[in-house]
Each structure stands twice: as C-alpha cells, then as structure tokens.
Chains A and B, each alone.
Chain A
Amino acid sequence: MEKLIILLALFSPVILIAGVIFKFYQISKIPLNVRWEIYPVPHGKKDGGSYLEETDWISKEHKKNTIAEITEPLKEIFYLHRVKKFNTYGLWLWSMALHWGLWLMFLWIFFIIIAQFTESFNLSNFAFVPYFAYFLGIIGSTGLILKRLLNRELKLYTSGIDYFNLFFLLSIFSTGFLMATKENFVNENFAYVNGIANLNLALSEISIITIIHFVLFEIFLIYIPFSRFFHGPVKFFTFHKILWNDEYQKKASSEERKIMQQLNSKVKWAGPHILPEQSWLDNAKNTNLNEK
C-alpha cells in the first residue's frame, strides 16, 4: 500500500507536466489558422485601436505594450474580471472562492516542499493558508453545484461530468478541511511529503483523512490535462495565439512556410462548388462555375 501511494505521489506531478506538455504539443501542431483576432488586444491601444488605423502601416513601427499582455491574463486568473463584469448568474463569488481555494491549496503544497529543503522555514507560520484554501474551496464548489442545480438555464447546459468535476473538487477540499481540524496536521503534512521524498512513508503515523486528501489531490493532478480543468492552460492559445495575435505575416517566416504547406492540403469537402481532392490553392484559382 505504501509503495502504491508513493508511486502515485511521485508520478502524479510527472503525469501532470507530461500531460500539459503533450496537450500543448497537440494544439501547437494544429495548422496555423487565418488571422482571427478581436479588439481590444491588450498590447494595443486601450480604446481598441490597432496599427491598421494608419496609412502605410506595413512600413511603420508599431509599439507594443508587452506588460499589458502579461497583466491582462492575471486579471482573469486572480480576479475573474470578465465573469465579474458580465456574468448575470451570480457565478463570480463562488467561482472566485473555488479558484482561490485551488491557488492557496497549491501554495500550501509548495510551502510543504520548501520546508523539506529549508530548515529555517517554519511551516506552522503558514498554517492559515490551508484553512483559507479548504474553506474557500468548499464554499466555491458547493455554491457552484447549487447554482447549476437550481438555476434552470445553467442546469440545461450542465452534464453529469460537470457535476462530477465539482463534487471531485469538493471532496478534495472537504477532506483537506477535515485534515486541517486535527491539531498536528502541519506535522503530518510535512511527514507525508517527507516520506514520499525519502521513499519511506510510514502510513501508520499519518491519519487516514490526510492520506485520502493527498491521494485525491494527486488523482486531480493527473486528471487536469485530460479534462475540462485544462480550460485554464488552454487560454494561452485562445487568447495569446488567436484572439490577441495581430502579427502580420513576414517573408521567410515560419508562418509563411506553414501557409505554403497548408495551401497544398487537399480539399476533401463534397459541396457542389468544390473541386474534391484538389488542393486549396487549385480550388482558389478555379471558380468551378459549372458546378454539379
């Protein structure tokens, strides 16, 4: 049993990282799409203006506010500002609680790991972090479950898997909360991670609720890249690579090479105006006015 738990604990972050890398690789292998940005882009003008507002824009230099490209996602990650501003179903408060519960839970794990290497780091000084994490997480996930169950419109779009995901998070936070009610939970948390790091986990010295909590957390890590929880990392593509990407094509660039290649892809559509099995370029050149 100990071996199994050690293996899970060691491999879950590895699978998480490998899974995220694999997913990023998969998405980046998707062909380069046509430009499809939406304004305002954070690195552009605040009023939504772009370099296309100028004549001869191609021969001019364009200033980019790269800091805003970094700070804008932070507003979403830590404040969910679009949900706050636009969501009319009252999801913001619960969603904020859930997300902050997650961030603080990860922060606590980070602190436990730091404490393994730094003797002067007193983990007990940060014992308030998991309390906040689990409390917020429970409030957030419960609130979202209730919202989705009780609001007719939200319920229409919520499937079993969405409830499963929320209950899964609730179980992680709840077991964490129960664990944190034990007087010596900080020592237990330290001992658990220490046991994993030294491949010598004394299960008999750790409470069952702590073990359940950590096992659920480790399963969660494995689950992230292969589930809807990946909606966080995927924003790198939806925002930075698509909606905020207003870069125009340059000669001899990798984009140009991709486009040249893609124009030779076969068009497999079967509509009456399509020349099937011919390339995109051939289809574009031929109007095919004598369609089927």
Chain B
Amino acid sequence: MKALRDFSRETKDPLVEIKLQDLVSLSPYINEEDGLKDLSNELKEKYKFSLDGFSGFPFPEPSEEEKEKIVKKFLSAVEKLLNPESNWTFLKPFSLSLKYCVKCNTCAEACHVYVGSGKKEIYRPNFRSEILRRIYKRYFTASGKLLKSFVGADIEATYTAIRRLLELAYRCTLCRRCVLYCPVGIDNGLIAREIRKLFSQELGMAPVEVYKKGTRLHLKAGSSTGMGPNAFKDIIKFIEEEIGEKTGRKIKIPVDKKGADILLLHNGGEYLAWPDHIAAFAILFDLAGVNYTLSSETLGYDGVNYGAWYDDVELARVGLRHLQIAHDLGVKKLVIGECGHSHKVYTVIFDRILPASSPLWNIQRESCLPLMWEIVKSGKIKFDPNRNNFPITMHDSCNIVRLMGIVNPQRQILKALTPGTFREMTPNRSYNYCCGGGSGFAIIRSLNFPIWRNKVSLRMKTKQILETFNDVLEKDTPKLVVATCSNCKGALRDMIHTYGLFDKFKINYSGLAEVIVNAIAELPPFLNLEELPE
C-alpha cells in the first residue's frame, strides 16, 4: 500500500494477499501444506473479500442507494462514538487514543496477528486506528476540513472503506497486548472494539455468531448455544451419571439452591463441548464442601457475555440478568468459572456499570481461580502430584491475566499439583500472546474466516506451544496445555486439529479444574490424555 488513502479506493484485488510463504514459519516442527484455499467464483461474486481475501460476513452486496445510506449512518456513528451521552462507557480512553497517538509504531511488534502474518501492513495495531482517525479528522475537525491531507485528513468514507473497516475490526482479538508497548498509553485494542461497536450499535452489523446466534440467542433462549433450561437440567443429570461412572462417587450437583454462598457461573459452551470440565468443578467443590449452586434460570447457566466484544448495550443486558439471577437466589457471591471474557466483564467492567449502592452491585463478583487455590492449599483434599507426571504448560488468558491481574493462583496450583513438570511459555503472564481465538474468533465460522483464524491468528500461539515443548516434542508421552478460558480452549482445539499437534506430538489441552481433579488421591485418574477431550 503506497498511501493510507488507498484504503477507500475500490480495487480489483484485495488490499493484501495472504501467502503461506509470508507467514511466520512453523518449521522445523510442522511441514505445512498450503491450506489457504482459493475462493470459488460463486463466493467471490456473492460476497466481499476486498480486505485480505477473507471474510466472516456473509452479507450480500447492497445496492448503490443502500451503500449511500450506510456511508451516512457510518459517519453518524463516528459522531456518536465521540458523544458523551451515547458513549459514556468508553469515551475517555477512546477519544484520547484517537487524538494523541504519535505514530511511533512501537505497538507493532506486540501484535500476534501482525507478526504472525509476516507483518502485513493492514494488521498493524495502529493501522485500523489510523484509518478511523483520518476519517474522523476529515469529517469532524476544523483542521481536517481546512488543511485536509496536511493534517492527515485524507481518507474518504466510501462504502469500500467502510466495508473494509468492518472486516478489519475483526482482525484484532482485542487482547490489548499492544497497549503494554505504547509509551503514550494509546489503546489500539479499544479502538478496534469501538469500531465493532459503531457497526453494531448503529448499523446492526456484527458477525452472526456474536449477535444473532450470540447475545440475541443468549437473551432469548438462555444460552448462546441454544440450550434452554430443560436441556440444561438434562445435561446436569448426564454429568452426575458420568461422575458416578468415572469416580464411583454419587454427587448431586446443586441447582437453584436458595441461600447458597456462591452462584457458580460457567461458560455455557462447556456443558456441551467439555462436560468433563463441569464434572471436575462439581467433584472439587463437593469434596471441599463449598456451599454453591448452579442456576437453571434462563441465562443463569451460561456466563458468557459476548457484548464485551462488540456492543455495550448487549453487554449491559446480559450482565444485568446474570446479577439479577444471583440476587434472586440470595447468594453472597457470583463466582466466575473458567471463562476469560466473563471474568473481565463481571469483576472489572461491571464495577462501573451499576452504582455501588445497588443491591446487584453488592453481590461480590470473583474469579474461581483464587477459590480453587484456597481449596488446594487448605489440606481438605489429599492430592498426589505424581498423577500429573507429564510435561504441562499453561496458556495465560489475556482477559484473566493482562486485563485483570490474576496471575498467580493458577500457577501456584499447577506447581503444587505436578511433580516439577510444569513449564512456562515464553513470553508469559501479562506479556503472553493471545491464543488467537479471542474476542469471538474461536466461534466465528462464517465463510472463509476460520481459515484465516487458523492460519494467521492462531499462528504465534502454535509456534509458542511447539517451542515450549521443544525438548520433549518427539517423546511418546502426552503433553498438556492448560487454559483457564473456554474461548482459549476452543482456539487450542482448532489449533490441534489444524496442525495435527495431537497426532504428531501428543499435545492435548484441558481446563485447570480437570488437572486438579486428576491429582485427587482418593479418586481414579480423571484426565485421559490419550484422547482429545470432545
């Protein structure tokens, strides 16, 4: 790209072409086949792939008249993003980030997508911010109107630019690693989120998986998986039976128990994709004597809140209902299960969504990880760390570690419950790389977006995992990647399938609760690392 203003020009080909040879190499671990399939002519004609040859938006092309309307609405949305009433939630960090970036591009090396792609310009954290910044200057500032390109107000809000910007907002996982690199405190991750937000809140444009089959379905059916209260109760029965078969223990999972201390809120996807994870929590809490409950109320059993990724109104709606359910049950605490974005929503974001005097705010909102560490160190349960005698590493969930500062409990657990086989990835803790499936990427399945995600977005984490196990990679022993987040586990699952990590190297994945339960001395081993967990 010669100039940023080219972003708004209609071109025959996408702005960049993703080629395997340009991507960060996974050699010598993986001999990669191309896998970046060409699009069929039918798809090319029907949908827009003008950014990078990929799309997660199966929207038919609008008419010329509709395009004009979209441009007008887009500009109106940019104005609303900068309006104190319309955007009180994020106006301050957003407007400062928009206005005071010095364009030193220090942020670039932080981004796993930019680096993993072989440094394609459009994926630079500052690129999409700069596009929005220049549009904003051109249409909304006196200096931009007067001095035009001299002050960088040179990008025209054409339909082409807007369509590309929509796509580009979903080439960032909102992991905010770039913020840690910025000497001015500019938040390019937030700008990406705000672009997503303006499209959703003004134009009704968002990936089907996060809007229609996401927050809408969550509010309507009770879960973004579509699982209703009855299905939930059936699954609980099934899990209780599974626990009985697996451990020989009869455990009654508490549901709708009024006056329990804790409402435990799992990611709804766990019930269907990884029921063993729910079972592990049930076993652990039962043995530790935790006075908790699950909820069968609509929404009460699915703790996801996709609004965190794209829409403040949907975020508030889902969150408010979760807190109301906790309040109605009379619990003291809402404990968030192993779900990264849900952690951040309830412990951090919701701190200022309601006033502190509100009864809903006064339900304590906590992570499950400190509680799990308390159980492990309490001595109530006898553990045998030798049960976890295999190479084991941990992927830090960005939401839990970088965005909340919960760094240590999960490490203390793994150190305590392994016979010295735990190893850190590099980089780790707050400086970890995103799994590549964050902010909804792990669930977006439309058009050829999954190919882009698997090949580009998951790339740096794949490389990192392979390097972590480098010395034992060829050994015929299972290796485990632990993730304390459902979304991250979804990304690990895609990664393992895409690159054959299980078949080639016996690399498997699980949540943290499963590893804890695997080490409980009085029970049979819980993990089966000879099979993938689905």
Binding site for B on A (CB under 8 A): 27, 30-41, 44-45, 47-58, 76, 80, 82-83, 86-89, 91, 95, 153-154, 156-162, 164, 228, 230-231, 234-235, 237-239, 241-243, 246, 248-253, 255-256, 259-260, 262-263, 265-274, 280, 283-287, 289, 291
Contact = CB atoms under 8 A, between A and B. Distances in A.
A246 to B, nearest CB: 7
Contacts of A82: 106, 181-183
Contacts, number: 274
Contact of B408 (A47, A80, A87, A250): A47
Given A33-B90, A158-B103, A263-B355, A40 B405 contact: yes
Contact of A55 (B96, B190, B320, B370): B370
Contacts of B92: 27, 30-33, 237, 241-242
A94 to B, nearest CB: 11
Given A30-B95, A33-B89, A39 B402 contact: yes
B4 A271 contact: no
Contacts of B76: 270
B179 interface: yes
The residue among A33, A58, A164 with the most chain B CB atoms within 10 A of its own CB is: A33
A289 B220 contact: yes
A261 B465 CA distance: 47
Contacts of B95: 30
A48 B429 contact: yes
Interface string B100-120: 111111111110000000000
Given A162-B103, A238-B100, A289-B219, A53 B370 contact: yes
B462 interface: no
Given A48-B405, A260-B355, A273 B204 contact: yes
B416 interface: no
A54 B366 CA distance: 9
Contacts of A243: 179, 185, 187
Interface stretch (B146-154, B433-441, B498-506): B146-154
Contact of B367 (A52, A228, A274, A284): A52
Chain B interface main SS type: helix
B102 A231 contact: yes
Contacts of B403: 37-39
Size range of the chain B interface in the assembly: 35 or more
B58 interface: no
A42 to B, nearest CB: 12
A160 B406 contact: no
Most chain B Cβ neighbours within 10 Å, of A35, A80, A95, A256:
A35
A50 B404 contact: yes
B297 interface: no
B200 to A, nearest CB: 6
Contacts of B106: 82-83, 86-87, 91
Q: Which 10 A-B pairs have the closest CB atoms?
A: A50-B405, A238-B185, A159-B152, A31-B88, A284-B316, A48-B430, A160-B150, A39-B405, A269-B201, A265-B85
A156 B4 contact: yes
Given A40-B405, A252-B357, A256-B356, A95 B104 contact: yes
Contact of B357 (A256, A269, A272): A256
Given A37-B348, A86-B109, A91 B104 contact: yes
B361 A249 contact: yes
A177 to B, nearest CB: 25
Contact of A86 (B86, B110, B154, B200): B110
B93 A238 contact: yes
Interface string B71-99: 00100110010011110111111011100
B201 A271 contact: yes
Contact of A49 (B93, B320, B405): B405
